Amino acid sequence: MAHESRPSAALGALRAAFPHTLPVLTGFAVLGLAYGVLMASKGYGPGWSFLMSALCFCGSMQFAAIALLTTAFDPVQALLLSLMVNARHLFYGVSMLEKYKGLGKKRVFLIFALCDETFSLTSSVVPPPGTDRGWFYLWISLLDYLYWVAASVLGGILGGVLPFDTTGLDFALTALFVVLFIEQIRRRENLTPGLLGLACTGVALFAAGPDNLVIPAMILTLGCLLLGRRRLEA
């Protein structure tokens, strides 16, 4: 009986998770295509796009890595750049410890696939009543992962046969985050933390400048949320 209920639970969770991933699908379709096209323009075919997306799955760092692939390799520079670009995932991981607790082997892929967009969804979306929590979060993570990999490969294929002007495509990432942010603050309990995050980002922008605001903004936001945790939870 348990064996028969497992596919049913997974399918029900897929139906519940898929609609939440549609904004990510839209954004990743554009960004993934742009990434594949850029890789192809530098002489790296769709196979390289697939390997980078499937094994690294680090979005913004993959774009940054294009420059590293086309210049003399400096491992120290590559390491420092990766740490700076992806340091925000330290905060993501800490905040998801409780939510991913008790999910068994699913946690391995959930941790690997925790990108910005997936974090935005899994940290705010609550599984519908009767939906298996582990499968719900796994499907969100897996669908987002597949969207990115598929779009990257398609971009690599098209970039090798068709000329593309990629001007302005990088703005799709900003637009995607705006959509995800709006979806979060539409819930009343997320409005105050969302506005607090905006305020902390503004302070970090003023203090550190646009090129160095991510880490200060994360630290400032985390500190404010921890200090006001009891009031926010109430």
pLDDT at res. 228 = 77
Question: Residue 234 carries which DSSP code?
Answer: -
CA contacts within 13 A on the Cβ side of 114: 23
What integer pLDDT is reported at residue 154 of this predicted model? 95
Confidence at 156, pLDDT banded by 50, 70, 90: very high
Q: Could you read off the pLDDT of 160-217 as tens digits, one per residue?
A: 787 767 666 656 666 767 876 787 777 777 788 888 888 988 998 998 888 777 778 8
| Contact in structure between 13 and 127 (CB atoms under 8 Å) | yes
Per-residue confidence at 152, pLDDT binned at 50, 70, 90? very high
* Mean local confidence (pLDDT), 123-138: 91
Burial class (CB in 10 A: 0-12, 13-18, 19+), 117: buried
pLDDT for residue 232 is more than 60? yes
Pick 212 or 112 by higher pLDDT: 112
CB count within 10 Å of CB 138 equals 23
Please state the three-class secondary structure of 47-94 as a single string.
HHHHHHHHHHCCCHHHHHHHHHHCCCCCHHHHHHHHHHHHCHHHHHHH
